[in-house]
Amino acid sequence: MLFGRLKDIFTHTHSLQFPMPLHSNPLFVAVAGNIGAGKSSLTKLLGERFTWRPYYESVDDNPYLADFYGDMNRWSFHLQMYFLAHRFKYHKEIVESGQSVIQDRSIYEDAEIFARNLFEIGKMDKRDYENYVSLFHVMMEYLKPPDLMIYLKASVDTLMNQITKRGREFEQGIQRSYLEQLNRHYEDWIAHYKVGPLIIIQTDHLDFVHKKEDFDYIVGLVKNALPQLQLFET
């Protein structure tokens, strides 16, 4: 069913005629970062601040995530294909909508971080990984990159603390070594990110959810990266 759904999405997009935006210069912003970095919270807050439509990562309704954390070897390919299909669909909707949108986790992270890591640690076999990467690169030919990528950089201590605080049962068994591996892949990906503007925010000493001054600091960074926002400030 997953592969049929992915085929339908991709086939439709192949012949897609993108409509004109509903208003001029809609913005597409993506928030990237490791598990527990605060992507969803920042997506919500910036969406409210700038009246951007939020697109969230599929977690609570993900049919593979709990199984994946129980047996990564068995479910890694299925999970990554689910995420790839889901985010491709959302990316397509974002471009079609003509609205300003902020997305929690980008499609680039699926291939550059998570699938790559699963292959390198032996949780996804070479045949599945190569097929996955081949499909990912074909998809990239049809997708407009974000107008701004925001990378939330956090230490593993911060990530583990945040994961514990939010209390998702299936995340509580995540090993420190796994987060360390993901962080290394994030740093490598960000160092080579060239498809558009990028903000890197070190979050270890920020509490943008509860401290207005921390959130205002991030808002200032976003406005500097996207000067067109200032035209609409009151």
Q: List residues with catalytic annotation.
A: 104
Q: How, if at all, do strands 28-33 and 198-202 pair?
A: unpaired
Q: What single-letter amino acid sits at 97?
A: S
Q: What are phi and psi of 201, to 5 degrees?
A: -120, 115
Q: What CA–CA distance (Å, rounded) separates 54 from 201?
A: 20
Q: How far is residue 157 CA from its own chain's centroid?
A: 21
The 3-state secondary structure of 19-36 reads CCCCCCCCCEEEEEECCC
Give the H/E segment covering residue 183.
helix 176-191
Q: At what angle do helices 72-97 and 2-14 cross, to 10 degrees?
A: 30
CA torsion 171-175-180-181 (nearest 10°) is -90
Residue with token string 């987060």: 179
Nearest to 187 by CA among 198, 171, 175: 198
Q: How far is residue 27 CA from its own chain's centroid?
A: 16
Q: What CA–CA distance (Å, rounded) separates 230 from 234?
A: 9
